[in-house]
Amino acid sequence: MADLNRPLTDKVALVTGGSRGIGGSICKRLAEGGANVIFTYANSTDQANKVEEACKSHRVKAEALQVDAADIEAGKRLIERVVGHHGPIDILVNNAAILTVADLTNVTEEMFEQNISVNLRGLFFLTQAVVEHMPQGGRIVNIGSIFGEGAPTAGLDLYSMSKFGMAGLTRAWSRDLAPRGITVNCIQPGPVNTDMNPEDGGLAAFLTPRTSINRYGRVEEVAEMVAYLVGPNTDNVTGGTFNNDGGSTA
């Protein structure tokens, strides 16, 4: 009989950008559900090791791998390694992203290329490599942003562009992969309390009053939505964008 408390037992999950913040919480929540979790990180080795150990405490396999999210060939090698060591990837969570604040007159070609490379190009070709090995009924979750629906202040040009693009890819991929029973959804967080954007940081005075609940979200609240979307009995949920934003877009 299936363990209802661990519905992801024996599933293999790949999470990009999993060493901290929302990504780290997603890794731990999937491990709690029984999944074997492999996650990538850019620079935070100490934090990555802590997330790996936290995942293993749930009696699952876990592995942290340092990978440049913009490097397409490195992404392909990553997938070969994961499949070779752990088997087909059942769950993909595209979380890795960068945020560059600059308005139209100040965006450089280097900034533009860097944001496209990480937030869209790398994500696209990594997902392409994953689905070659993803079994029937797989799950893909893209972590977008409410800035993919609107830009409430100046300087979000590159980030909003990439997150609008992620929402578009979610819809397109849900059509492409439907014949294989693979669902594709996008979660769009609002302000969430992380070390990059703390609830008592410089942006809080601007962002908090724009929520209906007058507080920042918690990383666990985003992770719980991921756990639902990759869990059982969600075959009918695909091509959707789900705001997890405390009513910021209400």
Q: What are phi and psi of 72, to 5 degrees?
A: -65, -45
* Spatial CA neighbour of 139 closest among 74, 235, 207, 60: 235
- Structure tokens of 35? 């999944």
Kindly state the DSSP code that residue 213 receives in the 8-state scheme.
S
* Spatial CA neighbour of 216 closest among 148, 146, 164: 146
Please enumerate in sequence order all residues whose Cβ is within 8 A of that of 135, keeping only pairs 6 or more positions apart, or say none. 88, 90
Going by their DSSP bridges, the two strands 12-15 and 36-41 should be labelled as: parallel
Distance CA 191, CA 207 (A): 7
Please enumerate in sequence order all residues whose Cβ is within 8 A of that of 234, keeping only pairs 6 or more positions apart, or say none. 139, 183, 228
Burial of 55 (0-12, 13-18, 19+ CB in 10 A): buried
Contact call for residues 189 and 22 (beta carbons, < 8 A): yes
Residue positions annotated with a catalytic role? 159
